[in-house]
Amino acid sequence: MENYLQSLDDGWSIYLWLIVGGMIIIAVIYWIRWGVKNEQFDEDIKYLVFDEGDKEKMSPQEYAKSREVVAAQIQSRERVLERQKKEKQQGK
């Protein structure tokens, strides 16, 4: 294999780099699309670590926002689980 690669003309490696670079760009686009589709880019995710015991440590606005985010997350989870259940039933 090494002899074959050395027997190639100069400048062939740029094409290999172009192909690999194109594959990387396609993979990045795919994973960004997947992240958007699966709600992975959520700025309010930081509020999910708080619970009822943190109420006195937070301002009333932050606490209200954390409860709102948790409720939205629960709804999102139920929606995803329902979708997975339907997909599983269609697959049978």
How much of the chain is helix, strand and coil, in % rounded to 5? 85, 0, 15
Q: Where are the domains of the chain?
A: 13-91
Are the beta carbons of 73 and 48 closer than 8 angstroms? Answer: yes
Average pLDDT over residues 74-88: 89
Tens of pLDDT, residue by residue over 14-34, are 888 999 999 999 999 999 999
> Percent of the chain scored above 90 by pLDDT?
25
Which residues are within 8 A (CB) of 40 and not within 5 positions of it... i.e. 6 or more apart? Answer: 34
Q: Could you count the other beta carbons within 10 Å of the beta carbon of residue 73? A: 16
pLDDT value of residue 92: 61
Q: What tens digit of pLDDT does each residue of 38-65 get?
A: 778 877 877 778 778 888 888 889 888 8
